[in-house]
Amino acid sequence: MPAPSQDASEPEYGLTAVAPIRFKVACPECRAGFELPGDAFLLAIGASRRTTTYSFSCPRCDASIRKPAGRRIVELLTQGGVRTLRLHTADGPGGQG
Asked whether residue 1 carries a pLDDT value surpassing 70, the answer given is no
pLDDT at residue 91, rounded to an integer: 65
Mean pLDDT of the chain: 83
pLDDT tens column, 33-64: 999 999 999 999 999 888 999 999 999 999 99
pLDDT at residue 56, rounded to an integer: 97
CA 95 – CA 97 distance, rounded (Å): 6
For 21, other C-beta atoms within 10 Å of its C-beta total 14
CB of 55 closer than 8 Å to CB of 65 = yes
pLDDT at residue 97, rounded to an integer: 46
Q: What's the Rg (C-alpha) of the chain?
A: 20
Q: In Å, how far are 47, 87, 90 from 96, measured between CA atoms?
A: 18, 16, 6
pLDDT tens column, 67-96: 999 999 999 999 999 999 998 877 645 555
Domain spans of the chain, in order of start: 20-89
